Amino acid sequence: MKCRKCGEGAALELRRHNAAFCAPHFTEFLRKQVREAIRQHRMFTPDETVMVAVSGGKDSLALWDVLIEEGYRTVGLYLDLGIFDYSRESREKCEAFAAARGQQLLVESVESAMGAPIPEVQKATRRPTCSACGLSKRYLINRAALTHGFPVVATGHNLDDEAATLFGSVMHWQTEALPRQSPALPSTHPKLVRRVKPLYRLAERETAAYAFLRRIDYIVEECPFAEGATSLAHKEVLNRLEAASPGAKHNFLFGFLERARPAFDRPEAVRLAECAACGQVTTGEVCAFCKLVDQVKRRVAP
């Protein structure tokens, strides 16, 4: 295989683009995809400081690396979920990444916020681990951005992640979730920051290749609670489709964003208020996070 750009030996073949690239031109290709995502959806400007939510995995660290290289002002945020050695190792990866590049890394602890780490939360509430974890992450990321005055949060969700989420929503016809299926969600309340996904144009394999070429040290292991997650099953289905028809994931996601999403993107009649307990945004009197915290406090022994 030869690089599409220079004709030299290719380092990576991208079947969905019917192209191959050498290492330098692949790196430029990936950064161009991120630049296009930011431009097309007006995710943020060079004058804004972007808070990058990092997990220690390849996607979020690759995203942070790209934004640094593109000249954006960034601050990392790591959420310590308290998941045994997995959280300790992933935090170390984030700290080493930030230190090597002279970047600031903020750390928030789920245990400090909830009174228990995620494994204990799961035991206390008996709700699915990923459900409690996702709720906690959304709440704490938004709260951290507000506390530190950052107008926008960038996450490392890639094409595979977004296509799998869309697949699950469509399969169960969760129409209330479809308007939120977007690379960029605007702020709809003074206490909700913008949320953007600059990697949505890139496949997981592509961000992994970028991390390898950039020698980014990331945690390879999956979260120990991820086994059996429906999102992984959805990814497996889409991977089989992609193998048979390169570009299937892209066509599925981008077809929805360009043709179908406008039909679901209607002004919501939901009244947003501030939680009586914490002041964050909710649709009721008390937000779901505070209800979860109260449940944990009542069931976890001091």
Q: What is the mean pLDDT of residues 38-53?
A: 97
Q: Taking 70 as the threshold, does the pLDDT of residue 145 lie above it?
A: yes
Q: Domains of the chain: which residue ranges? A: 36-268
What was the pLDDT predicted at 185?
95
Q: Name the CATH superfamily, with its identifier, for domain 36-268.
A: HUPs (3.40.50.620)
pTM for this prediction:
0.94
**233-247 per-residue burial string, b: 16 or more CB within 10 A, e: under 16:** ebbeebbebbeeeee
pLDDT tens digits along 115-142:
999 999 988 887 778 888 999 999 999 9
Residue 160 · residue 204 · CB < 8 Å: yes
pLDDT tens-place string over residues 233-274: 999 999 999 999 999 999 999 999 999 998 887 665 678 999
Show contacts of 266-275: CB within 8 Å, 24+ apart: 266/179, 268/179, 272/188, 272/189, 272/192, 274/191
Nearest Cα neighbor of 56 from 41, 28, 78, 32 is 78
Largest separation between any pair of C-alpha atoms in the chain: 65
